[in-house]
Amino acid sequence: MAGRVIGFIGLGNMGSHMARNLMKAGHKVVVHDSVAVSEAALVKEGAKAARSPAEVAAQCPTVVTMLPAGPQVRAVYTGKNGILSTVQKGALLVDTSTIDMDSCKAVSSAAHKAGAVYMDAPVSGGVMAAKNAALTFMVGGPEFDQTKQVLQHMGAKFFHCGEVGTGQAAKICNNMMLAISMIGTSETMNLGMRLGLDKVLLTEILSVSSGRTWSVDTYNPVPGVKEGVPSANNYEGGFGTSLMTKDLGLAQDAATSTQSPTPLGSLAHQIYRLMVNNGLGSKDFSVIYQFLKQQKNK
């Protein structure tokens, strides 16, 4: 697929790297973002800017979106000057956002009526994986092979989960587990350090023991343990606490609708909501370590 024209809408912490990797693979990329400076950075590297999602869709038989939540996805696809107002017949629309199932299925239905194919393909791996084209994609929809041809330039692992919406199902399950494990890692590191253990030594022990998790050995929340992660950068530039809170809310909605008991998921959601209310919404979700560090057992 080298040399194809691909649209990319949503150039935040993740999307900017993903679009850049498409360019590195030799594709001509047409970009749009509500923040002009985000567009300008990609244009300097060779992308073409469009004034609206509609303008992107008019030029591109393939469009990738990476947006914060369901309302933004609905607006970008079905709103005024949205993708579906000018979409090409047979176009492939790949939404890599993490959104609610209702929005996912509503946009899919609207795309089908417009003669296009909509695929949900939320991602996991974080900003560093986006930068290094090492993301994991969980894909729902009928055209997996065609979609993978696009995603392969931005990721390393690809799973076809089933019909439209199943990619979202896999993603919210993953992020619920991630939030729970990050809280557990933060509690453990805080306790160990208060008991006098060196933070690096404790991380090394946990990384080769039965308590090992991605939150311990790859995305450690304690400053000074790992380089190149948000905790080494004042918790900037990663996966925002507000976004994790949103995903945990989606997981709780799904748990309610399926009557699935998720007591730890519910507690994690409450904790992250409390962090947002304490002004930490824009910080990476691993800032839970600092939040807990400031608390004392009464």
| Residues assigned a catalytic role | 171
> Could you write out the three-class secondary structure of the chain?
CCCCEEEEECCCCCHHHHHHHHHHCCCEEEEECCCHHHHHHHHHCCCEECCCHHHHHHHCCEEEECCCCHHHHHHHHHCCCCHHHCCCCCCEEEECCCCCHHHHHHHHHHHHHCCCEEEECCEECHHHHHHCCCEEEEEECCCHHHHHHHHCCCEEEEEEEECCCHHHHHHHHHHHHHHHHHHHHHHHHHHHHHCCCCHHHHHHHHHCCCCCCHHHHCCCCCCCCCCCCHHHHCCCCCCEHHHHHHHHHHHHHHHHHHCCCCHHHHHHHHHHHHHHHHHHCCCEHHHHHHHHHCCCCC
The answer to whether residues 208 and 107 touch, using CB atoms and an 8 Å cutoff, is no
Exposed (0-12), middle (13-18) or buried (19+): which is 197, by Cβ within 10 Å?
middle
The answer to whether residues 137 and 96 touch, using CB atoms and an 8 Å cutoff, is yes
- Of 46, 43, 41, residue with least CA distance to 25: 46
Q: CA Rg, the chain, in Å?
A: 20
